Amino acid sequence: MSEWASWGRVHQAAPARVISLVDRAAALPDGAGRSLLAYGRGRSYGDVCLNRDGVILHTRGLDRWIRFDRQSGVLSCEAGVTLREILQLVVPQGWFLSVTPGTREVTVGGAIANDVHGKNHHAAGTFAHHLRGFELLRSDGARLDCTPARHPDWFAATVGGLGLTGLVTRAELQLAPVANAYLDVQTLRFHDLDEFWELNAEAERLWPYTVAWLDCAARGASQGRGVFSCARHAPSQPDLPLFRERRRTMPFTPPFSLVNPLSLRAFNGLYWHKARTRRALSHYVPYFYPLDAIAHWNRLYGRAGFYQYQCVVPPSTMREAIAELLARIAASGQGSFLAVLKTFGSKPSLGLLSFARTGATLALDFPNRGAVTQHLFQDLDVIVRSAGGALYPAKDARMPPDLFRQAYPRLQDFTSFVDPAFGSDFWRRMCA
């Protein structure tokens, strides 16, 4: 691969060298003065997974199982194993990931580096809360066996540490017990943000998984309308429906984005009007990973790619800030079909640079329309900054460095843990 792109395809960066790792017991390769960076599946939307003119350590060869205790649900594996591979192994044996992001196509190492979260943060916290430990290989040859109790400072720096503290070679995860592969899902339509806040507060008391889709194109009295979903793992029961995953692919990259104001308004309006209050069983794949059904779905946004803007704002400002953000996005005519709103619970994140914190998080994809899109982001940054919020580095491709410093007050503490041989395009952009 001569050029490496992030999932948003806005940034492309050719490394000087790509080294495929296959032996976790081996020493780190010598970068010959060039920075090193681990790369799994490249599902980060921005540039945290890119290392222009540096050395990419491709970790997919570190894909071995180490140990799986079927009684306790403790799984040890190498860092290049994907969440898809874990689920294929453990779900038939009555276990599930304690926390999962919206795609299975990420590696365990990537999930640790970005301390990913899911629809159950209010109940379970982030990925790191269920991480029993990992091995961290440093460029000086040191191998640190990190747990929350052993080398806790290195544990805190590495979870959410964007792959900058060294190479995670293996990890041990605590899984969650399930009776089968299905979820009990309730879906409700809401008409505005006031109704969302009310629904969400009630649902979080009763359901472990909660999330809302928003019509980001709606304006006026319809602004903030959407579809709310809450779920729990289904109990044991006979005669579960047969599930067969059907995968499609976006076979080419069109010259322009297929997501535009006209298609956005039409799709969002139809989707909202068709939504009905219902309760049904759903296999875990379409509930947690709807976009995994379309391979290369990122090509829909055309050759210019797309950005994802994901922010979190604290409880004291979240109602006003989310309303302001949606109003500004709707007025711009930008956005996509994928607008997600949920709240994070009060469980403190374990990483120095972890994104998840108490409050509300809003995530939207935006086709890259150049200066028009950048101007919108500047306006959104003002709202997030004023609200005391933060942007998610795993999704970022253009965050101002001063907003990063403001939103991550433990950044200075983190810098002392960065391996001097490691770097990334994101880190150089933030700290140059």
Q: Mean pLDDT of residues grouped by 10 in the chain (432 residues)? A: 76 91 96 96 94 96 98 98 98 98 97 98 98 98 98 98 98 98 97 96 97 92 94 95 91 90 84 88 96 93 95 98 96 88 97 98 96 97 98 96 97 97 97 78
pLDDT at 273: 84
Question: What span, in angstroms and rounded, lies between the C-alpha atoms of 370 and 402?
Answer: 22
pLDDT at 2: 43
Domains, the chain, ranges and CATH?
A: 182-236+246-407 (3.40.462.10)
pLDDT at 146: 98
